[in-house]
Each structure stands twice: as structure tokens, then as C-alpha cells.
Amino acid sequence: MRINRFERSSSGISHDKKEVQQFITELKNADAVIVGAGAGLSTAAGFVYTGPRFQEYFRDFIEKYHFQDMYSGGFYPFKTLEEHWVYWSRYIYINRFMEAPKPVYNQLFDLIKEKDYFVITTNVDHCFQKAGVEKERLFYTQGDFGLWQCSKPCHAQTYENEETIYRMVKEQKEMRVPSELVPYCPRCHAPMSMNLRADHTFVEDEGWHKACQRYEDYLTQHQKARVLLLELGCGMNTPGIIKIPFWKLTRKYENFRYVCINKGEAWAPEEIWTRSLCINRDIADVLQEISFQAGGTEELK
């Protein structure tokens, strides 16, 4: 396989269509595919936390607090829980319950759905399940926007928030949600918090542990198979969850292949170059190109 070395300058980024063909060939030859997805995949799907999307839904907060983007606003210590949940209910609603602006996840699912596959992701926006990935084939390591937990936490359980989030969005007035919608722990009555891995309070509930175990079992069961590790949009913020383990697995098992698609950040260590394909391009463009290629997905079956 050809290697595209890490290039920071845009002039070094290749737009070679052969790479996409190589990727298709690798998919076709693989017995199993493990997708490892990071924030860059959701950005490619249009979940952007800045610009017009941020201004459209958070104009009042921008005026009042001068927030620069959706993500950093989420850390603001609002004086009341009623205001906190106005911000967070909109945040969750548009990033978890609304459809993705671009069909990137659906195109990705079309590529893998006929294969033996598993998905590990640091994304919390539920896009894989919305696209059709079965829960049993998915390990969401960092939580889910659709889940709450006790903020202390006094017990390791998560709670679905969809119904309350919809009501919060609908019933909020003058930057307050009705007090009766503010969620409290059913056991210790502390305020509920998001089930997102931001600090040591993150709850790994039974579902999380089962998913983790299924991922480990999947790796064990496929040690002798030709496995394609497909890394999409993982940056260097938390490389220890997907990126570095994928590199180690590729080095350990000769039958494993590593494909990384990430504009400006696709790179592999030298020891695994002969088993790696790094595509320094926008993920949405690459997936779009494959879905346009006649029979591109047909031949993968």
C-alpha cells in the first residue's frame, strides 16, 4: 500500500483518486472492519459548534455572555439550574436529536453494513445508532448526549433524557426552563448532570461495561482474521482511546490493516507503513466519492 506521509502544508496533501480505490480494495479484502471514530467525523457530518449554526440557536447567550462557541459555553457556571438547562437542552437537541446536516454517517454505514464490523467512538452524538449501527456492535466510550446521571454520582446508572429535553426546548421562556423540569437524582436528590466524560464523576454504567467487554471480545475473536482498522476523524486530543491502540494492533497482528482518513492529520508510525493507508482528505468528500462510484459499495459485499 502507498503511504502518504504526514504533511502540514496544504500543498503536500494528495488528492489522488487511487487512494480511494485502494481503500475500496482494502475494504473488499477485509474479513472484518473496526471503525474508530472521533470528533472529526461529526464535524464532517456538519455538526459544527461555531459560526451560523451557533449564532442561530444561541443568539441570546452570545449577547448576554459573549460566548465564542457552543462547546466553551457548556462550561459556563450559570447562576441557576433553570438557565443551565436552557443552554444544555438546546445544545443536546440540535446535536443529538436533530438530523445531521450531511449524510456522512449513512454513507459510512452503507460501506460496512454487509461486513462483519464493530464501531468504537469517542463521539457522544448518537450518530452511529441513528445511521443504523446496532447497539451490540458499538462502544461509545465517552458517554451520550441523550443520557443523564447523578452529578455526585451516588450510583452508576444512566437515564434517558429525550422526553424532558424536548419539553425544555419547547417550554423555555426568557432563558429559563420551568423549575419542575430541572432533573434531580431519584436516589440522593442531587442535580442530574450529563453522562459525558469531562471529569472523574463520569458514570460507566452496566451498558458501558457490556459494550467495553463486547469490544474486547471482538478483538480477541478476530486476531487471526484480516481486520481493517478504519480510523476517522480522531485528533491528537485523546489518542490513547482509538489512535494509539489501532497503531499497536496493526503492529502486533500482521493480518491487520490500518486506514486513516483525516484532513491534515492522517499519519502512521514508520513500523506499520507497509500495512497502512493514510488519506489526508476531508472524510465527507472521500465517502461521497465512494458512494458516487458505480458499484463502489456493491463490490464490497
Least CB distance from residue 185 to Zn ion, whole Å? 3
Q: Give the Cβ contact number of residue 257 at 10 Å.
A: 23
Angle of CA points 2, 221, 238, to nearest 5°: 60
- Identify the residue whose cell numbers are 460501506: 111
Give the closest residue to 139 by CA, choosing from 213, 194, 193, 206.
Answer: 213
Span from 89-97, 183-191, 235-243, 275-283 in contact with Zn ion (CB under 5 A): 183-191
Distance between CA 181 and CA 158 in Å, rounded? Answer: 17
Residue type, 25: T
Chain position carrying cell 506521509: 5
Tell me how far, at minimum, the Cβ of 201 lies from Zn ion, in Å.
11
Contact range with Zn ion by CB under 5 A, out of 9-17, 51-59, 142-150, 269-277:
142-150
Cα 300 from Cα 111, distance rounded (Å): 7
Of 35-43, 91-99, 177-185, 230-238, the window that binds Zn ion (rule: CB under 5 A) is 177-185
Given 119, 185, 219, 232, the residue binding Zn ion (CB under 5 A): 185
- The one among 31, 68, 188, 248 contacting Zn ion by CB under 5 A: 188
Of 98 and 198, the one with the shorter C-beta distance to Zn ion is 198
CA distances from 3 to 82, 268, 274, 276, 281 (A): 52, 9, 8, 7, 14
Taking CB under 5 A as the criterion, the residue among 3, 13, 62, 154 binding Zn ion is 154
Among 94, 131, 147, 150, which residue sits at the site for Zn ion (rule: CB under 5 A)? 150
127 is known to lie in a ligand binding site = no
Nearer to Zn ion, 150 or 268 (CB): 150
Residue 185 counted as an annotated binding residue: yes
150 is in an annotated binding site: yes
Q: Kindly identify the residues of this chain, within the stretch 272-291, that bind Zn ion according to CB under 5 A.
A: none
Q: Please answer whether residues 229 and 257 qualify as being in contact, where contact means their C-beta atoms are separated by less than 8 angstroms.
A: yes
> 206, 147 in Cβ contact below 8 A?
no
Minimum distance from CB of 193 to Zn ion (Å)? 10
Least distance to Zn ion, CB of residue 186, Å: 8
Residue with cell 438530523: 99
* Spatial CA neighbour of 265 closest among 5, 3, 45: 5
192 binds Zn ion (CB under 5 A): no
Specify binding-site residues: 150, 154, 185, 188
Residues that bind Zn ion (CB under 5 A): 150, 154, 185, 187-188, 190
Specify binding-site residues for Zn(2+): 150, 154, 185, 188
